[in-house]
Amino acid sequence: MENVKTIQWKDDVLILLDCRKLPEKEEYIICNNYTELGEAIKTLGVRGAPAIGVAAAYGVVLSSIHCIENDLKKEECINYIKSGINYLSSTRPTAINLFWSLNRMNKRLNKIKNLSKEKIKEELLKEANLIFKEDIETNFSIGKYGNDIILDNCNILTHCNAGALATAGYGTALGVVRYAHNSGKNIHVYVDETRPLLQGARLTCWELLKEEIPATLITDNMAGYVMKLKMIDMVIFGADRITANGDVANKIGSYSLAVLAKEHNIPVYVAAPLSTIDLKLKEGKDIPIEERSKEEVRKLFGVKVAPDNIKVFNPAFDVTENNLISGIITEKGIIRPPYKKNIEEMFNKK
Tell me whether residue 240 is one of the annotated catalytic residues: yes
Cα dihedral across residues 114, 119, 125, 130: positive or negative? negative
312 touches 294 (CB < 8 A): yes
- At closest approach, how far in Å is the CB of 292 from ligand MRU? 8
Catalytic: which of 192, 240, 247, 278?
A: 240
- At closest approach, how far in Å is the CB of 275 from ligand MRU? 11
311, with CB counted inside 10 A (0-12, 13-18, 19+), is: exposed
Residue 78 or 277: which CB sits closer to ligand MRU? 277
- At closest approach, how far in Å is the CB of 235 from ligand MRU? 12
- At closest approach, how far in Å is the CB of 112 from ligand MRU? 30
238 touches 172 (CB < 8 A): yes
Residue 251 or 332: which CB sits closer to ligand MRU? 251
Residue 85 or 162: which CB sits closer to ligand MRU? 162
Helices (H) then strands (E): counts for the chain:
12, 16
CB neighbours of 31 closer than 8 A, spacing ≥ 6?
13, 14, 15, 16, 37, 40, 55, 58, 59, 62
Residue 62 or 176: which CB sits closer to ligand MRU? 176
Smallest Cα–Cα separation from 103: which of 91, 89, 117, 121?
89
> Residue numbers of the site for ligand MRU (CB under 6 A)?
44, 47-50, 95, 160, 162, 166-167, 172, 199, 237-240, 250-251, 316
The residue whose Cβ lies closest to ligand MRU is 238
- At closest approach, how far in Å is the CB of 229 from ligand MRU? 25
Residue 41 or 124: which CB sits closer to ligand MRU? 41
Radius of gyration of the chain (CA): 20
Residues annotated as catalytic (active site), given as ranges: 240
